Amino acid sequence: MQETWRWFGPLDDITLPEIRQTGATGIVTALHEIPYGEVWPLEAILARKAMIEQAGLRWSVVESLPVHEDVKRGTGDLQRIFANYRESLRNLGKAGIPTVCYNFMPVLDWTRTDLAYRMATGALALRFDAMRQAAFDVLMLERPGAEADHRPDVLAAARAWFAGATQADRDTLLTSIMAGLPGAYDRYDIPGLRRMLDSYAGIDAAALKAHLARFLREVVPTAEEAGIAMCMHPDDPPRPILGLPRIISNRQDLADLIAMVDSPANGITFCTGSLGAGVANNLPALAREFAPRVAFLHLRNVTKEPDGSFHEADHLAGDVDMPAVIAAFLAEEKRRGTEIPYRPDHGHVLLSDAGRKTHPGYTLIGRLRGLAELRGVIAGLRHHAPV
């Protein structure tokens, strides 16, 4: 399996020389400075690729080539947006970058309510707290009908928390929820978020899936011609958020995705954290079933709670049977005869991570620990059960 590392470009506080010392050989990055819906020029792609290669690394995966919100809503000048996306794919193919990760989550990517949840060891982790999410949705955002989306006991706890929360507590909660776009720099205040949510009025899961299918029909043939595997990231968390539908959350959703366009260029980013937060998702079984269509792996772990809360655990702790998942993909690699890129997804704030200006979840020492642990699992599985 190819070890990769997410890097947010020249403005990332973690440098390419530091990444090389982790042992990872591949870089996962994007041209974050280019607005959504615009073309990635070949010259800009080649310049970023040269920067990576000068550090002794290679650009293995694009994460992400973002999908414009108009595509998800099915509005606006879609033909121009589709044409630009196709041109970006052609340029990435010319540059020899084989894999493009993207997602189809409306408005926000991953959603967390706590960016510094203290673990028993003193490490800081990301957390989704169902009570705080309800407090934000019902009492801060004041979304019409939001009460129906939260359990009564969670709502009661949310009202109690909100009654005692300071303005600083509420501001911190808003900042935490807005942090779910780690590669983008647009953030919403409460009025701005309300306007974005209003723009999705009337769009349910079925409509969003129809918009996804149209997008795939428009761009996957170009990806196939360019020699690129597109791989969609699952919803995080795998449930509706703020009244927005989520459509890649479980086994049926994954099956629907690959059936939309029957092409090897239409694949999956298998994220053990996102799928692992779904109570009904059996990760080893999903890995075995969908391995032939998986082009990229995000490996992290979560510990779930009965009320729907979860936090990001150590990579080999939590509810996901990580060795069983990895074993499924080692078997798939043997079948293909090629490596599947993976990256240690998210990481706790450990040791000298404190104080560094890194994106939430994208620490140096925390991810280095995760990478080392995953590397050990892979080596152990290969030694005891060669594949």
| Strand, coil or helix: 61 | strand
Active-site annotation holder among 117, 346, 348, 353: 346
Q: Measure CA 192 to chain center.
A: 23
pLDDT at 259: 97
Contact status, residue 21 vs residue 358, Cβ threshold 8 Å: no
Q: Is 231 a catalytic residue?
A: no
Is the Cβ–Cβ distance between 98 and 106 less than 8 Å?
Answer: no
Question: Which domains are delineated in the chain?
Answer: 2-110+203-384 (3.20.20.150), 114-196 (no CATH)
> Is 383 a catalytic site residue?
no
Q: Is 362 a catalytic residue?
A: yes
Give pLDDT, residue 179. 85
Q: What is the residue type of 127? A: R
Contacts of residues 163-169 at CB distance under 8 Å and 24 or more positions apart, as own/partner, are 165/135
| Ramachandran angles phi, psi of 205, nearest 5° | -60, -40
Q: How many CA atoms lie within 13 A of 288 on its CB side?
A: 8
Q: Is 163 left (phi over 0), alpha (psi -120 to 50) or beta?
A: alpha
Contact 248, 232 (CB under 8 A): yes
Is residue 348 part of the annotated active site? The answer reads no
Torsion on CA atoms 219, 223, 228, 234, rounded to nearest 10: 20
Q: Among the options 12, 114, 236, 271, which is catalytic?
A: 271
Catalytic residue among 233, 311, 315, 348: 233
- Going by the DSSP 8-state scheme, the letter that residue 166 receives in this structure is -
| DSSP helix/strand/coil, 203 | coil
Burial class from Cβ neighbours inside 10 Å (0-12, 13-18, 19+) for residue 185 reads exposed
Residue 193: φ, ψ to 5°: -65, -40
Please report the DSSP string for 209-224 in residue order: HHHHHHHHHHHHHHHH
In the prediction, which pLDDT does 333 show?
96
The verdict on whether 68 is a catalytic residue reads: no
Q: Of 140, 32, 133, 115, which is closest to residue 361 (Cα–Cα)?
A: 115
- What is the DSSP code (8-state) at residue 303? E
Tokens of 22: 């982790």
Q: Residues 26, 32, 36, CA angle at the centre, nearest 5°?
A: 125
pLDDT at 189: 87
28 DSSP β-pair partners: 6, 61
Determine the Cα angle at 346 with ends 263 and 220, to 5°: 15
Per-residue tokens: 291: 């391995």
Among candidate residues 68, 298, 315, 348, the one labeled active-site is: 298
**117 is known as an active-site residue:** no
Query: Please, which residues bridge with residue 114 across strands?
Result: 127
pLDDT of residue 182: 54
Contact of 13 with 358, CB cutoff 8 Å = yes
Asked whether 370 and 378 are in contact (CB, 8 A), the reply is: no
Active-site entry in 12, 149, 236, 345: 345
Contacts of 87 (CB under 8 A, 6+ apart): 39, 40
Closest CA to 239 of 273, 211, 207, 275: 275
Residue-level pLDDT, tens digit, the chain, 387 residues:
999 999 999 999 999 999 999 999 999 999 999 999 999 999 999 999 999 999 999 999 999 999 999 999 999 999 999 999 999 999 999 999 999 999 999 998 899 999 999 999 999 999 999 999 999 999 999 999 999 999 999 999 999 999 999 999 999 999 999 887 655 556 788 999 999 999 999 999 999 999 999 999 999 999 999 999 999 999 999 999 999 999 999 999 999 999 999 999 999 999 999 999 999 999 999 999 999 999 999 999 999 999 999 999 999 999 999 999 999 999 999 999 999 999 999 999 999 999 999 999 999 999 999 999 999 999 999 987 655
